Amino acid sequence: MSFWGGTGAGGAGHGIGMHGDGRARRGARGGQRVLGPSEPPPPLMDPERERDGRRIMRLFAPYRWQLVWVLGLIVISAGLSMLSPFLLRDVLDKGILHHDTTLLTELVGGMIAIAIVTAALSVVQTYVSTEVGQSVMHDLRVAVYRHLQRMSLAFFTRTRSGEVQSRIANDIGGIDNVATNTATTIAQNATTVIGATIAMAIMSWQLALISFALMPLFVWITRRVGRERRAITSRLQGGLADISALVAESLSVSGMMLGKTMGRGDDLAERFTAESDEVAKLEVHSRMAGRWLMSTINMVFAIQPAIIYWLAGEHVAGGAISVGTVVAFTTIQTRLLFPMAQLLSVGTDVEASLALFDRIFEYLDLPVDIQERPGAVELRPGELLGEVRFEDVAFRYAPDSDWTLTDIDLEVPAGTRTAIVGETGAGKTTLGYLVARLYEPQEGRITVDGVDVRDATLASLAATIGVVSQETYLFHASVRDNLRFARPDATDEEIEAAAAAARIHGLIASLPEGYDTVVGERGYRFSGGEKQRMAIARTVLRNPPVLVLDEATSSLDTQTEHAVQEALDELAVGRTTITIAHRLSTVRDADQIVVLDHGRIVEVGKHDELIGRGGYYATLVAHDDPAASLQ
């Protein structure tokens, strides 16, 4: 739920949605149906679960040899551990009862040596398994981040930033224990259980049967608890995503400013309190799910040695059983308690983690709607003229939405300046972003020097088309680093020259720390005009042959606009420039003015020519105030 009071824009069309109560839900990934907040999960043998299981196994495939090594260490350690009860039996039956001190010393020495070796093996095993687990988590984080980097701008306009952050931080962080410890825990405890079972059967198969009589019931209980925890975990992660979104929105600079100026700070705090309270309750529910059943299992395990003592004493098992055998058997049984409980517990952890893996895979499965085609052309910005053509272009944001742009046929000659004007919603910004392939038209094509932008490599297209938007983003880093983001190999001299061209060098140089001054989040240490000129300096560094200026002076006062406009004019020299016009001062001198109305081109021409026609453009001019916008 967005804290602005409506439902969050949860990535419609990409498998991310929101319930009415603000809980994240699974979309139709792979044809699966949507789960409600309290709906039980599908059966364990659901094909979707099996596919996810195979995908999880593939995550560990690159580290198979490290895992084989760990497994070998586990087998050796478990085998050595199983020798101790037999040594203990002989210590009691042959060493102590027969007063054989030499044998007693040898047996005790063997027990001590086994303890030392298994402890050392445990340290090595923990290191290797932790390294593998963290490598898998690293691979997942990088895979999700890289995949999201490939998503189009449309995805991010539909998805809450907090939701994206939650997938990377909370969901991947939530599988830390599973990725790091689960594989080795299962192997270690399974090996211990198998070894202990064999040892117990060798000592007394009758007592072994009694000890494991209730095991099928325990396994069934564990699987039932696991399914319950998986459903709770899915809801819990949805709640954490809501909190992340609320924090990202309300505690950003813009969110704080809006909350304070609207007097809504207490309301936001109450909403956060409610979200946090629900997450806390879900966390308690998750931890307590099946707790009585699991405690009952542990209680039975703890009681079983006492039962064995009683049965052995009453000779129920039949035959003579030595004291050493009974003590050794119950010792193994006691040692079996922890690994058996761990195996049952890890089963519930794995079930719960499947909900997290589902959410991670859901993002990895999001379709990338703007991809680089095989054999894409490498544009060479230094050799391009910069002619841009729109050929029968049509675009809309969703398949069932109205067309934002239709029948766009337009030629932007190389080295000229074209202004795009129209009212709000006319499609001006969309038209400009189509050139940079931030969006992709459903019909028609856009070319640069005759090359369809869809046939160009994404990197060379980014170097060819420079975009200066009305909302300038600056990282929380130094001014130098913010400018160098445009071209990492730029020298300090080139950075300063670009800043000078953008009319911002003097201001930066006057700061106490100069270019090493750290800007605030989103550049809040600088005014709108100063940030805008930094954005222009970044574009100067890239030196693209084609520029898209998206209302770059829309939020500036007249004096600041004049300084920024001078920088833009210098930037536009010798380049093809498409300006999303905001004020008449940016329109009058354009080589051609393109007038949009409801996504269609209704007029094209120079300022004087269009005024003379007395058409739609002339109407806009007549109603325009020089200090107002032409939105």
Rounded Cα distance between 83 and 306, Å, is 23
Instruction: Give the chain's radius of gyration (CA, Å).
Output: 34
The residue among 84, 103, 80, 118 whose CA lies nearest residue 327 is 84
Q: Which residues contact 111 (CB under 8 A, 6 or more apart)?
A: 84, 87, 88, 91
Backbone phi and psi for residue 86, each to the nearest 5 degrees, phi listed first: -70, -40
- The answer to whether 421 and 407 have CB atoms below 8 angstroms apart is no
Cβ neighbours of 132 (radius 10 Å): 22
| DSSP conformational letter for 417 | E
Rounded Cα distance between 8 and 23, Å, is 10
Q: Residue 271 has what pLDDT?
A: 75
Helix (H) or strand (E) holding 277: helix 265-288
Q: Residue 347 has what pLDDT?
A: 62
Q: Which domains does the chain have, with CATH numbers?
A: 55-364 (1.20.1560.10), 381-474+544-623 (3.40.50.300)
pTM, rounded to two decimals: 0.65
Q: Splitting the chain (631 residues) into consecutive groups of 10 residues, what average pLDDT does each group show?
A: 35 34 35 37 50 78 85 80 76 75 84 86 83 85 85 78 73 72 70 74 71 66 64 70 68 56 68 78 69 64 68 55 70 67 64 75 84 90 91 90 92 92 87 91 94 92 87 81 88 90 87 85 67 85 88 65 72 85 74 92 91 87 54 38
Q: Residue 15 has what pLDDT?
A: 34
- The answer to whether 538 and 475 have CB atoms below 8 angstroms apart is no
Name beta bridge partners: 93. Answer: none
Helix (H) or strand (E) holding 395: strand 388-395
